[in-house]
Each structure stands twice: as structure tokens, then as C-alpha cells.
Chain A
Amino acid sequence: MKSVVFYFQMHQPRRIKEYRRSEVSHNHDYFWEEKNKEILERIIEKCYVPMTKVLIENDIKSSISISGVLLEQLLDMNSSVIDLLKEYFKSGKGEILGETYYHSLSSIWDEEEFKRQVEKHIDTLSRTFGIIPSTFRNTELIYNDKISQMVKDLGFETIITEGTDEIISKNSPNFIYKTISGLNLFLRNYRLSDDISFRFSNRSWNEYPLFADKYAKWIFMTEGDVINLFMDYETFGEHNWKETGIFDFMRALPNELKKYGIDLFTINEAVKNKGKKYELGINKTISWADTERDLSAWLGNEMQIEAFEMMKTLKNSKNKDLWGLLQTSDHFYYMSTKHFSDQEVHEYFNPYHSPYLAFIYYTNILEDFYKTFLD
């Protein structure tokens, strides 16, 4: 029997403020609290609360990863989302994944720092939800064999990543594989995932409007054991507003799938119940970001690389937590200067409306950090 495996990513960065050079050495408050609060409150209301309710009320099974950066903001706000998530995880329908606490790029450059961040995340999950995760999701599904070895060494059993064109040309994304390090490996089915996350409310798409019965049929016609639908949680209610019918789609989907004998599994259930294919080595670093599916969303131009290198030099600071918050991948994402449609997505998220200003504010802050927290 075929199963659908949903994984949703919950993450909101702590965006830095429009920090002026004149503030260096005087002001050590780096974050744009007002903006962060405004955005987060909107997302809680439009997405986190209604979507979590939809999952609970319709017995929809899924695996969810919540970045530590988001979790601490939700805890600070005493948000009702935490209670809803507790209820969902307690019901056994929802499962939680591990990741780097700061939603960072540490996996690609510093194993020690990566380990610190993953352990900090596990610690927070266990204190908040009483759960120790066994599946790992790296920032934006960044992956290679070396990363999977580090993840294995941290005690995880399963890891997920992108099914890039290069991988799926030889290996169907709809099966569970083994990594060289010995972990179970899930590959995202990007076509079917993007039908929901990118195309659902696109009126110029020839399949618009997408209803659950049609989508269930597509899944039925897809060969494999597991259909891995991996996407941002914000897909529901934020990127696609309630008015597009996205919640109705999710409410209807379990029954439509049942008609074809397809059920929903969490990642751990799938690991328990499905066979594993052969060992799959992935040497090149991949991710689920942009059309390139590599690191270029964060390190695609010289400005991003310069900012990233400068951040690295602050490793020996006295304030590890603050340094961690400055490692969040979004800071670098805003500095992207790609062309065409990928850049539109970068700009949609960029609160500064200019990659150059994103760089200037960020490096101003690093200059202050250097003067303040490094001996």
C-alpha cells in the first residue's frame, strides 16, 4: 500500500533591524522586534492556529520541524500555538523533527558548532514537548554524505532531503533509501509538493483550480511506497490565503486518498512499515532552495560570501547565543541578487527591499558585535 508522508517546516527568523553605522559601539540591540512581532502575529493568526486545528480535527498525520528561533519567539509570546502543537504531538498523529536551533548553515562549515546547535534544539524540544526527535531535517534540506554522517553521529535514525532532478533521474523519490552513513533517507517529491505550495493558487496554471479529488488521483497514479510532500507550514493560510480554499483542500484530502486506499503516515511510521531500497550516496551539496537546489540562495554572490566569512570570524565571542542568532540563514537569503523568478521570491521575503541594505545592516551589526563581544 502506498502512503503519503507530509513534512511541514515552521520557521520565522529574528530579522535584524535597519541598524545604522552610527549605532556601532553604542547600541547592542540588533533585532527588529516590532516587525518580527507584527509578522509573527499575522502568521499565527492566518496559518499556525488554523492549520494546526485542521490537522487535529481531521486526524491528518504529519511530521513537523520547528526551528528553535521560532520556538523561543512563540514561547516568549506565550502563544496558544504551543498548546495546540502539544495537543497534536500528544495525539500521536504529529511527529517532531530535529534541526539546528538557529536555522543556520553551520552544517557546511563547522561540525562543532553544528553539533552545539542541534543539541540545543533537542534540549528545547525535550523541555517544551517532552520529545526527543529521531528524524533530522537540516536547514532548507541542505544535504550531502558528510552532513548525514554528522547527523548519524548525533544519534538520529532518519534524514530527509530534496529529490533533485539529478537524483530522481536515476532514483525515484517515492521510496525510502539508506544513506552511506546508515540512516534512512527520504527524498522530497518536488513536483507534487510544489503543486500545493507554489501552484495551488496560481490562476495561470493549467490545472487550476486544484481540488482534493484530482490531487488524490495524481498520487494514486504515481508509483512508489511513499509520496513525500515536504513544504513550509506557511503554505497554508499565509502564502495561500484561506480564501484560496487551501484549508478546505487539506480537510478533504484524507478522505479522497482513502478512496484509493492511500493512507497518511508520519516519517517514523513509514520507516517502520516500508521497505528500504539501496544505499544512495550524495556527494554534492544540495538543498530545496531556488531552482538551482544548491547553496546559491545564501552564498550565491560575493557580498553574501563576504558577510558569511565575517560571521565565521566571530566564533570565539563571549555571546554564543547572540552569535547563533546572527547565523540564521534568512540574513543571507535577503542578500541574494539572483535574476528572474527566484529573485521575486527573495524579494517577497526581504523586509529591507534591497539586498544591499540587508548586507549593510548585517555587517554594521557584525562590526558592533566584534567590538562588543570579542576580546
Chain B
Amino acid sequence: MKSISVLGWELPPVFSGGLGIHTMNLYTKLSNFLNINIYVPDIVLPSGYYPFKAITVNLSKYYGSYYRSDDFFDLVQEYNEILIENFNPKDVKLIHAHDWITFKAGVELKNIYHIPLIITVHSTEYDRSGNFNPQKRIMDIEKYGIENADKIITVSNYTKEIIVRNYNANKKKIKTIYNGVNSELYDTGKKDYSLKKKVLYFGRLTSQKGPKFFLEAALKVLNNMKDIKFVIAGEGEKMEELKILAGEYLEKNIIFTGFVKFHVARQLYNDSDVFILPAVSEPFGMTVLESMVSGTPAIISKTTGVGEALKNVLKVDFWDSDLLSEYIISILNYKGLRKTIGENGKIESLKFTWEDAALKTLIVYGDYL
């Protein structure tokens, strides 16, 4: 079998974002057709059985310190350098690098060994900064990867447009491939659509994801409807600020759960009347699909990538908490609306499979194998 080397960052069960889930699912499928070697740093020691070969890159001197952003940047630099030293080019037909944290090594390995490079852009600094004060040194690395890759995969046309506009990417090199969703994990059977009086935000509490707009909408709904609970699940730098904004409603109507584990998340989706993602800039939005699989209607911002492929969601401008609050009230008031969006949304979300993503990735690989 032909070999592909993947430059990754994290693998389940240890991960902090969608990148690990993506890596795991995509390459589990692709390992049926190809020899896959996935490089990951040993700061998040992969454990368990993988159908592909996981190669750890030793970075242990930085262990545990990567939450501070300066250190994180240095850590990434170090990872890329050691990755290049440890790289085994034998029989490798293609290198596939994921996000800026591996782009530098990807480009340099391509130059050293003359192996074609494919990159996937899962998110950009432009998205992560919430469109506010992005770090130039990270954008430079993203640009470096985007310019030097032979092919680019983006997770939505929304992201494709961002990298064309902000990074001057060559449109012809880019292919959009949507993520899949592990529907068996979130499908809890037939959902009961009787009113639960619960509205859910689930995601990191960063400006990128727009929790502030969720909170603004919550306050507007609470002006009209009593005893509705707004659950903010997740943790992040905006937590304290949000708690202050919640004011008198904190704990009674606006509830912060902090970090939630998978089984709690699954329960939260199922127990809510509606899921909200008012992201300022979200390349894909996996949680939207997870919510839909569980049968819970979603309201998302127009700047959420997966929305471009969805009919059975409601969409608002991320800043428009007036309209968001109106949609929330309609969904809470009308069971028929909840049920119709929820049931049709579930059917629609089940079309997003990792099989499909893997097949489309294989087609992109095909030109180089």
C-alpha cells in the first residue's frame, strides 16, 4: 500500500478541539486504502488502539505549559523543528499537514524530500481571534503553508473564501470537504419535543464563538419569558466577563456548567429545546451537526461554515441578538416548529459522514498517488 504521512497535533482520547476528532475519524476510514503514519507531539500522549500508525514526537520538556500563548507559539516552533528531524521519508508519496501548527514542517519537508504537500485549513487566525487583533506571526505561517501547498482542503466554502480574501490563496488549488459527524454517538432515538424550557450554548467561551451574543439574546428572552434556563456549557477566557453580564439571572436562569464530558454533552443536546451557535467566524461548526443529530433545532450565525450546506436551521447575523432572541421565543412557543425543524434537521445532518469526507479526500490524493 502507498504511504501517506500526516502531520497532526492531537488524537482522541486526548484533545481540546475538533482537530483530534477530525484526524481520528478521517484516517480511520482512509487506513482501509492507504498506509497512514500520523505524527503527533508527545505532550498529549496518544493512547489506545488506532487503525493507523501514530508516531510521537518527543517534546516533553514543555509538558504542561502550553496554555500561555507565548509558550504555545514556541512549543509549535519546537514541534515543527523536531518533526523535521524525526521524519522518515521512506515510501512516502504524500504529506498531509493540518493547520498552522504543522504547516512549517510540511513546507520544509516538501522542499527537502520533494514530496507533494496537501494542507487542510480547519481554522485560520482570522477566525480564532474573532476577527479582532489577529497575530501576524501566525498569519505569516498560515500564508506560508497556503502558498506552498500543492492542494488545499478547506472545511467549508466560507473558509475557502476567507483564505482567498485574506491570504491571497489560489482558488484553483482549493477543494472544500465537509466534516462528518459520528451520528451513532449523538443519536438518542426519538426525541420528545414537549417544552423543556432550556436553551443551550455549547462551545469554548472565546470571542470567536460569540457566547456574548448568546447571553445578550438570553437577557432579551428573559424580559419576555420567565423560568427559561440558558445553559452555557464549556470553559474559556470569557467566563468571568459573561458571569458579570448575566447579573441577577446568574445561576437561576443563566447557568454555567464549565467543561463538560462527552456523556454530559450528549445529555445536554437531548434535554434542550434549541441549540445556539452565534459564532463571529466559525470555519465549520461540528456542534451544530451534533445537536441536529440528537434532533434538537439549531440557530446559528451566518458566519458558521456548515450553515452553507444546511437548510433546516435558522440563521442570523452573529451580532443580531434581537433577531436571535425572537427566533428563540418562536421555537419555545411552538412545538410544531421545534418538531419540524428538529426532525428534518436530523435527516439532513445524517448526510454528513466521515465515509463521504474520506472518499472526497481520496480523490484529492488521487492526483499524487
Q: Is the CB of A153 closer than 8 A to any CB of chain B?
A: no
Note all chain B residues with C-beta closer than 8 A to A305: 336
Q: Is the CB of A104 closer than 8 A to any CB of chain B?
A: no
Q: Is the CB of B259 closer than 8 A to any CB of chain A?
A: no
A302 touches B335 (CB 8 A): yes
Min C-beta distance of B295 to chain A, whole Å: 13
- Contact of B326 (CB < 8 Å), options: A21, A302, A337: A21
A22 touches B326 (CB 8 A): yes
Interface residues in A315-366 (C-beta closer than 8 Å to B): 337, 354-357, 359-360, 363-364
Q: Is the CB of B314 closer than 8 A to any CB of chain A?
A: yes
Q: Is the CB of A307 closer than 8 A to any CB of chain B?
A: yes
Please judge, given known A-B contacts A337-B344, A354-B311, whether A359 and B337 are in contact too, CB under 8 Å.
Answer: yes
Q: Is the CB of A20 closer than 8 A to any CB of chain B?
A: yes
A356 touches B340 (CB 8 A): yes
Note all chain A residues with C-beta closer than 8 A to B337: 303, 306, 356, 359-360, 363
- Contact of A303 (CB < 8 Å), options: B311, B326, B333, B334: B334
Q: Is the CB of A79 closer than 8 A to any CB of chain B?
A: no
B340 touches A307 (CB 8 A): no
Closest to B329 in A: A21
Q: Is the CB of A301 closer than 8 A to any CB of chain B?
A: yes
Note all chain B residues with C-beta closer than 8 A to A363: 330, 333-334, 337
A306 touches B330 (CB 8 A): no
Min C-beta distance of B75 to chain A, whole Å: 45
The interface bits of chain B over 169-205 (1 if a CB of A lies within 8 angstroms of the residue's CB, else 0) are 0000000000000000000000000000000000000
Note all chain B residues with C-beta closer than 8 A to A364: 330
- Contact of A302 (CB < 8 Å), options: B327, B333, B340: B340
Note all chain B residues with C-beta closer than 8 A to A306: 334-337
Min C-beta distance of A245 to chain B, whole Å: 34
Note all chain B residues with C-beta closer than 8 A to A307: 336
B335 touches A21 (CB 8 A): no
Min C-beta distance of B207 to chain A, whole Å: 27
B330 touches A303 (CB 8 A): no
B339 touches A356 (CB 8 A): no
What are 16 sample pairs from A and B whose C-beta atoms fall under 8 A apart? A20-B323, A22-B326, A301-B340, A303-B336, A303-B337, A303-B340, A306-B334, A306-B335, A337-B344, A356-B312, A357-B314, A359-B330, A359-B336, A360-B337, A363-B334, A363-B337
Kindly list the 8 A-B residue pairs having the minimum CB-CB distance in the complex, ordered from nearest.
A306-B336, A303-B340, A21-B326, A302-B336, A303-B336, A301-B340, A360-B330, A302-B339
Q: A21-B330, A301-B336 are in contact. List 17 more A-B contacts (CB 8 A).
A: A20-B326, A22-B322, A301-B340, A302-B335, A303-B340, A303-B341, A306-B336, A337-B312, A337-B344, A355-B340, A356-B314, A356-B337, A356-B340, A357-B314, A359-B330, A360-B326, A363-B337
**B-binding residues in A (CB < 8 A):** 20-22, 301-307, 337, 354-357, 359-360, 363-364
